[in-house]
């Protein structure tokens, strides 16, 4: 039986890493191998029995387990991806029972070289391994994704400073598809549930993608306020106003949220792009002219265009950052007013490919002032 036929929904890459890790550690302990591993998913809560493809001991005392990623129905580049985890006992660590090493095909942060592993992925491993690892030991986990480098070329990992493979940055167990209607419905349901609480939902941070969800808490944004919008930003802005949100921050990659300044409120590139046109128009309003403006328009990415501008006119580039965020804030407020008749004026914060805060709009500043930024 295939993994997909046994599951009623798909799971993110960190789940399949955890499945293989648990199987490998069980092999280290001498526990009998099994075709399925019971895993506590955490987000959402509950245990599932998930398939393991193979487990084997090595002569050096380590153990290897292999799982096969099943993201469920729909298009997903992790489908069928083999996940290898090799485990060996190590000296005890303070605060964790494991250490993850990035093997072939696993993404590393370009700055520093450490494995790109989300907080959820760490919590998932800790929760499921803690009962298997003796108190006087830890376990070293080497994760290998044999096809990781090849598949990473089809992602925007490099735009976020992740190199050499796929990032392990899922923020929950279930796969969320940013362009699919069911992803929008899930976000709308979550927003409604928050609004129905006794305290309501006065504050909200809409985050476009997984990189943003992983980065936002590190920048001081409260995790309990985060809601993944995916590419469905327009409907969620309207819904936020209708559900009584009074203070809202849009947080995302500059090359994605730039589209909002041009009135594009569904940001999947298959539906609409226009980044070059929006960037060029705002640059012209800021004073960029002639050949530099043409080069800016023909730049392959927003990042490349801004770098070009920074090299030639650094002060103007800084002004353009602020114009971009101000334009996004103005356009989103106008969209909410036009679609709902309500007044909600979102703030905006953008990050760049190095996962650093790149620009914050006038209304977005208060979020980071309170977070000591």
CA 231 – CA 198 distance, rounded (Å): 29
- pLDDT tier at 230 (50, 70, 90 boundaries)? confident
In a domain, residue 258? The reply is yes
Alpha helices by DSSP H, listed for 264-313, are: 275-286, 290-298, 302-312
N- to C-terminal Cα separation, the chain? 52
User: Would you place residue 112 in the very low, low, confident or very high pLDDT band (cuts 50, 70, 90)?
Assistant: confident
| One domain, residues 259 and 287 | yes
**Residue 303: its pLDDT value, please?**
83
Q: Find residue 68's DSSP bridge partners.
A: 82
Q: What share of the chain is helix, strand, coil (3-state, %, to 5)?
A: 40, 20, 40
Q: Which percentage of the chain shows pLDDT scores above 90?
A: 60
| 315 has a pLDDT exceeding 80 | yes
Based on the fold, state whether residues 289 and 196 are members of the same structural domain. yes
The pLDDT, as a whole number, for residue 4 is 36
Share of the chain above pLDDT 70, in %: 91
**Residue 47 in domain:** yes
CB 217 within 8 A of CB 119: yes
d(CA 249, CA 363): 8
174 part of a folded domain:
no
- The answer to whether residue 175 sits within a structural domain is no
Residue with tokens 């953008």: 350
Phi first, then psi, for residue 217 (nearest 5°) are -65, -30
Tell me what pLDDT residue 272 has: 58
Domain containing residue 46: CATH number: 3.30.2110.10
Are 192 and 97 members of one domain? Answer: no
Across the chain, what does the average pLDDT equal? 87
Q: Which helix H or strand E contains 55, and what residues bound it?
A: strand 54-57
Token pair of 310 as six digits:
């920074």
pLDDT digits (tens, 9 = 90+) for 159-196: 667 888 998 987 778 766 544 556 677 788 899 999 99
What backbone phi and psi angles, to 5 degrees, belong to 186? Answer: -60, -40
- Residues 132, 15, 102, 153, Cα dihedral to 10°: 170
pLDDT number for residue 175: 67
pLDDT of residue 9: 60
In this structure, the answer to whether residues 108 and 215 fall within a common structural domain is: no
The reply to whether 147 and 210 lie within a common domain is: no
Lowest mean pLDDT among 30-39, 155-164, 240-249, 340-349: 155-164
Reported residue count of the chain is 373
Domain count of the chain?
Answer: 2
Lowest mean pLDDT among 79-93, 213-227, 235-249: 213-227
Cβ 157 vs Cβ 210: under 8 Å: no
Q: Are residues 156 and 248 located together in one domain of the fold?
A: no
5 upstream amide cis, omega within 30 of 0: no
Same domain, 333 and 232: yes
CB 255 within 8 A of CB 301: yes
CATH number at residue 334: 3.40.1050
Confidence of residue 34 (pLDDT cuts 50, 70, 90): confident
Q: Indicate the residue among 139, 166, 193 that finishes a domain.
A: 166
How many whole angstroms separate alpha carbon 10 and alpha carbon 77? 13
Question: What is the reported pLDDT for 74?
Answer: 62
The pLDDT assigned to 30 comes to 93
Compute the distance between CA of residue 34 and CA of residue 272 in angstroms, rounded to an integer: 47
Domain final residue pick, 166, 201, 226:
166
Highest mean pLDDT among 38-47, 78-87, 293-302: 78-87
Q: Is the pLDDT of residue 154 over 70?
A: yes
Final residue in a domain of this structure, among 131, 166, 201: 166
The residue segments making up the domain with residue 303 are 181-370
Per-residue pLDDT at 10? 85
Written as six digits, the tokens of 188 are 């709308």
Whether residue 172 is contained in a domain is answered as no
109 vs 95: CA distance, rounded Å: 22
- Residue 16 sits at φ, ψ, to 5 deg, of -75, -30
The pLDDT of 241-269, averaged and rounded, is 87
The angle at the Cα of 132, spanning 127 to 134, to the nearest 5 degrees, equals 110
pLDDT of residue 333: 96
Same domain, 30 and 86: yes
Q: Are residues 157 and 25 in the same domain?
A: yes
Is residue 132 located within the same domain as residue 91?
A: yes
Which pair of structure tokens corresponds to residue 348? Answer: 């905006």
Q: Please indicate, yes or no, whether residues 157 and 188 belong to a single structural domain of this protein.
A: no
Residue 176 lies in a domain: no
Please tell me the predicted confidence (pLDDT) of residue 43. Answer: 73
Indicate left, alpha or beta for 268 from its phi (over 0: left) and psi (-120 to 50: alpha): beta
Q: Looking at the structure, tell me whether residues 103 and 195 fall in a common domain.
A: no
Residue 186 lies in a domain: yes
pLDDT tens figures, 58-90 = 999 999 999 999 988 765 788 899 999 999 999
Contacts of 136 (CB under 8 A, 6+ apart): 92
């Amino acid at each position: 039986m295939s993994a997909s036929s046994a599951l009623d929904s798909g799971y993110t890459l960190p789940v399949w890493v955890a499945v293989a890790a648990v199987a490998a550690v069980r092999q280290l302990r001498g526990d009998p191998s099994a075709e399925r591993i019971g895993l506590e998913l955490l987000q959402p809560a509950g245990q599932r029995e998930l398939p393991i493809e193979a487990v084997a001991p090595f002569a050096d005392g380590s153990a290897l387990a292999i799982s096969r990623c099943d993201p469920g129905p729909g298009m997903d580049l992790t489908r069928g991806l083999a996940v290898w985890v090799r485990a060996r006992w190590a000296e005890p660590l303070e605060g964790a029972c494991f250490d993850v090493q990035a093997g072939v095909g696993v993404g590393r942060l370009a700055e520093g070289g450490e494995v790109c592993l989300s907080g959820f992925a760490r919590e998932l491993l800790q929760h499921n391994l803690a009962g298997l690892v003796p108190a006087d030991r830890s376990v070293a986990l080497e994760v290998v994704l044999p096809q990781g480098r090849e598949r990473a070329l089809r992602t925007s990992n490099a735009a976020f400073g992740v190199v050499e493979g796929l990032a392990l940055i899922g923020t929950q167990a279930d796969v969320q598809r940013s362009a699919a209607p069911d992803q929008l419905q899930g976000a709308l349901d979550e927003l409604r549930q928050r609004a129905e609480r006794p305290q309501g939902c006065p504050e909200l941070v809409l985050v476009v993608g997984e990189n943003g969800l992983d980065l936002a808490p590190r920048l001081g944004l409260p995790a309990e306020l985060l809601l993944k919008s995916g590419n469905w930003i327009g409907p969620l802005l309207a819904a936020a106003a209708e559900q009584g949100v009074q203070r809202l921050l849009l947080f995302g990659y500059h090359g994605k949220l730039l589209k909002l300044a041009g009135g594009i409120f569904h940001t999947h590139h298959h539906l609409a792009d226009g980044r070059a046109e929006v960037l060029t128009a705002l640059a012209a309003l800021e004073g960029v002219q002639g050949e530099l403006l043409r080069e800016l328009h023909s730049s392959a990415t927003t990042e490349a265009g801004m770098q070009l501008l920074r090299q030639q006119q650094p002060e103007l580039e800084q002004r353009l950052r602020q114009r971009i965020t101000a334009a996004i804030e103005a356009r989103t407020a106008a969209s909410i007013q036009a679609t709902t008749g309500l007044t909600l004026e979102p703030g905006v914060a953008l990050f760049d490919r190095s996962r650093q805060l790149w620009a914050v709009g006038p209304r977005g500043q208060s979020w980071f002032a309170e977070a000591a930024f």
